[in-house]
Amino acid sequence: SLVYEDICALGRKVQVSSNKAPEPGLFGASVTTSRAEIQQDFKAKGFSSFKGKSTGNNTQMVKVLLSLSECPPLGLESLKVKDTQLKASSFKRRGLGPHRGRLNIQSGIEDGDIYDGAWCAQYRDKKQWLEVDALRPTRFTGVILQGRNSIWSWDVVYTYKVQFSNDTLVWTPCMNGTEEAVFEGNQNAETPVLALFNTSTVARYIRINPQSWYENGTDGDICLRAEVLGCALPDPNNIYAWQTEPTESKDKLDFRHHNYEEMRKLMKSVNEACPDITRIYSIGKSYTGLKLYVMEISDNPGKHELGEPEFRYVAGMHGNEALGRELLLNLMEYLCQEYKRGDQRVVHLVKETRIHLLPSMNPDGYEMAFKKGSELSGWALGRYSYEGIDMNHNFADLNSVMWKAIELETDKSKLINHYFPIPEQYTSEEAFVASETRAVINWMQNIPFVLSANLHGGELVVTYPYDMTRDWAPREHTPTADESFFRWLATVYASTNQVMSNPDRRPCHNKDFLRYNNIINGADWHNVPGSMNDFSYLHTNCFEVTVELSCDKFPHASELPVEWENNRESLLVYMEQVHRGIKGVVRDKDTEAGIADAVIKVDDIDHHIRSVADGDYWRLLNPGEYQVTASAEGYFPSTRTCRVMYEHYPTLCDFRLTKTPKQRLKDILARGGKIPKDLQLRLRQLRLRKKKNQRT
């Protein structure tokens, strides 16, 4: 075995400074260990990479040792640890059972909820414990503790002890030299506090044993949420193979958390590897000046091609919901690699679609959460913009504009159902709109997106618009005119995601979305005015859903390969949905020129879309037969039947519109030309008919 592993077993904290040699006793032969050897061992421990740069340098070696001495989380938060692996000395009631003692778990609203916000012991003495069965010999290196999540109660554990066992009969305490170690717990209910053990211990079971807690007369229970850090011991004889969940991906991607600088580097490297199909651009800046980078992937980057639909993924609008960011970085690497390899599915997708990936809409928030790290950033740190704005409530509320108009307007034919303009008060300088939100709105207005998804984290569910309820109900099913297609879109992602679609999974926090097949109307979950999805649907042609990717907002780096595996198919198949329904070009019958801004109306669906600059349009639709009408100013409208099939390509439905005589006259007059005979005749006829009609 490698020497550095023995040192790691000491689990000692080493002060690292670049100009001072580390404690001499710690090194010995490890300096000569080859990089390849370390890397191999690192992989065996479930890490995907290590940051040491050279093995000849003492300082670098210490860094490797330190990251090894801090083992990854067992997965109380990520649910990798199952409910059956958690036990407790006692619990107050079912909703506060040991299975609720997970870092960052969120309680339901009601007091007495079956999904409550911690494990709480039934008794209040120093003999209470929460036990975790790691299922196999594990080197435990630390515990992360958090108080109870509740709006009604305040419960925190101030100090605690830790015990280990191999059989749950004999327990040995975690020591600090010759004394039993007492660890600092929490001072508030939400901030996670890490305690690293002085000596790491190999065992199968670990107990967290509270010693002091908030007490106030009859208030103050022993309640906690926790995560345990531990490395499963190497298993050379594959004794535990049957219970080992996969930790690897078959794809060779850069699986780690990328901060702003590292994200830039990765995007640059993808661009250099695939210069013909990629382009990096920025849509604006965050409050602190970080750029909002987009990776465009298409066979003709930088150009809109006639008939080719535009797709976007947006991640990280809540900066601490970090998985979406990494998945989009994975996705760009993957598309580049597979395109070069000639993977037909990817080649087809890239050639037929213009894909835009925005991995970080809120880079300021992300940097805050990243600095604390995946386990210690808690539930809300980094969610908001630097100014404290929640970007998912920050888009112009067009729903209210629409609903007010429906209430007040007696002539229904005067109501609009799409392309709602942004209210003036929203665009004013004083409006409290984040620069990031403004940048995304500009982006939406400049590129004719057809389909999008907004990647979040902290739950496992796909939500579709509307996100806002009518009449301010806290929660109410509020469908759009495209309800059935949105349900299809949400289902496409949810049913192909390997975690969501697992019928045996337990709910993340306080709502069982499995009961709804992991999809829900946004407003039916909770009311969100000013959401990006609603804005996208009401202001542009683009349909957008929200994907909540995982129970854990900021999964540990070691989880990233598996999360990619869980989501790869969903991310691909969702993008392919941009090719459903009908598409075509609206042209002038005489000149064949494309007509921009033509309105495409589908009978029975009270939501129109419009053609873009060259007259091309896309109308997402489920299979079926539709009466479709194209109309444009100065033209006679034209209606035709378009049939949508089950295949993965759209039905072509082109329109050729005839100019109205009035418009032809206008055009001629504008050019200063002479009016041809046939048009004079036609106009006279029209005038006569009009007069006649007025008389009757």
**Active site members:** 548
Per-residue tokens: 382: 């980094």
Closest distance between Zn ion and the C-beta of residue 510, in Å? 16
Question: What is the Cβ-side half-sphere exposure of residue 285, based on CA atoms within 13 angstroms?
Answer: 4
Which of 309/319 has CB closer to Zn ion? 319
Gap between the Cα atoms of 537 and 452, Å rounded? 10
Report, in Å, the least distance between residue 479 CB and Zn ion.
22
Q: CB-side exposure of 302: number of CA atoms within 13 Å?
A: 7
Residue entry with tokens 């044993």: 209
Rounded-to-integer distance, Cα 67 and Cα 696, Å: 90
Interface region with Zn ion, contact rule CB under 5 A, candidates 37-45, 80-88, 291-299, 316-324: 316-324
Which pair of structure tokens corresponds to residue 80? 């990798």
Q: How far is the CB of 321 from Zn ion (least distance, A)?
A: 5
Closer to Zn ion by Cβ: residue 190 or 654: 190
CA-to-CA separations, 215 to 116, 146, 153, in angstroms, rounded: 20, 16, 12
Q: For Zn ion, give the closer residue by CB, 469 or 550.
A: 550
Q: What is the DSSP string of 592-637?
A: --B-TT-EEEETT----EE--TTSEEEE---SEEEEEEEE-TTB--
CB of 317 to Zn ion, least distance (A): 7
Nearer to Zn ion, 321 or 544 (CB): 321
Binding piece for Zn ion, criterion CB under 5 A, among 177-185, 311-319, 367-375, 560-568: 311-319
Q: Tell me whether residue 47 or residue 574 sits nearer to Zn ion (CB atom).
A: 574
Specify whether the CB–CB gap between 30 and 8 falls below 8 A. Answer: no
Pairing of strands 291-297, 278-285: antiparallel
* Shortest distance (Å) from residue 458 CB to Zn ion: 6
Question: How many Cα atoms sit within 13 Å of 97 on the Cβ side?
Answer: 11
Identify residues 450-509 at the interface with Zn ion (CB under 5 A). Answer: 456
| Residue corresponding to tokens 């907002």 | 553
- Buried b or exposed e, range 386-424, using 16+ CB within 10 angstroms: beebbbbebbbbbbebbeeeeeeeeeeeeeebbebebee
Binding mask 318-347 for Zn ion (x = CB under 5 A): x--x--------------------------
CB of 456 to Zn ion, least distance (A): 3
The residue number whose beta carbon is nearest to Zn ion equals 456
Looking at beta carbons only, is 230 or 319 nearer to Zn ion?
Answer: 319
Q: Closest CB to Zn ion among 461 and 653?
A: 461
CA contacts within 13 A on the Cβ side of 293: 22
Window 432-461: contact mask with Zn ion (x via CB under 5 A): ------------------------x-----
Nearer to Zn ion, 71 or 361 (CB): 361
Q: Find out whether 595 and 612 touch, Cβ atoms under 8 Å.
A: no
Residue 35 or 526: the one with the smaller Cβ distance to Zn ion is 526
The tokens describing 465, both together, are 């618009």
Task: Compare residues 547 and 562 and give the one whose CB is closer to Zn ion.
Answer: 547
Min separation Cβ 318 and Zn ion, Å: 4
Q: How many residues bind Zn ion (CB under 5 A)?
A: 3
- Interacting residues of 508 by C-beta distance below 8 A, sequence separation 6+: 79, 106, 458, 459, 460, 551
| Two tokens, residue 276 | 């013909």
Angle in degrees, CA 228, 231, 236, rounded to 5 = 150
Q: Binding to Zn ion by residue 258, rule CB under 5 A?
A: no
| Nearest alpha carbon to residue 193 among 176, 174, 178, 208 | 208
| Minimal distance, residue 531 CB to Zn ion, in Å | 10
**Tokens 């109306």 -> residue:** 601
d(CA 33, CA 61): 10
Tell me the C-alpha distance between 268 and 293, whole Å. 11
Which SS3 state, helix, strand or coil, does residue 243 take?
helix
- For the record, the structure tokens of 376 come out as 């210690």
Q: Give me the half-sphere count of Cα atoms (radius 13 Å) on the Cβ side of residue 275.
A: 1
Q: How far is the CB of 521 from Zn ion (least distance, A)?
A: 17
Q: Which is nearer to Zn ion, 285 or 393 (CB)?
A: 393
Site residues for Zn ion, 7-26, by CB under 5 A, read none
Question: How many CB atoms are closer than 10 A to CB 695?
Answer: 5
State in angstroms the smallest separation of the CB of 489 from Zn ion: 18
Provide the 10 A C-beta neighbour count for residue 63: 17
In contact, 385 and 286? CB cutoff 8 Å: yes
Q: Which residues pair with residue 279 across a beta bridge? A: 296
The contact mask relative to Zn ion for 25-54 (x = CB under 5 A, - = no) is: ------------------------------
Task: Look at the alpha carbons of 505, 511, 517, 518 in this order and tell me if their dihedral is positive or negative.
Answer: negative
Alpha helix positions (H), 136-282: 260-273
Which one of the spans 13-21, 46-54, 317-325, 468-476 is the region binding Zn ion (CB under 5 A)? Answer: 317-325
Nearest distance in Å: CB 546, Zn ion:
8
Tokens of 304: 């809109």
**Nearer Cβ to Zn ion, position 321 or 352?**
321
Structure tokens belonging to residue 463 = 């939500």
Q: At what angle do helices 398-408 and 532-539 cross, to 10 degrees?
A: 50
Shortest distance (Å) from residue 390 CB to Zn ion: 9
Secondary element (H or E) of residue 19 = none
Q: Which spans of this chain sit near Zn ion (rule: CB under 5 A)?
A: 318, 321, 456
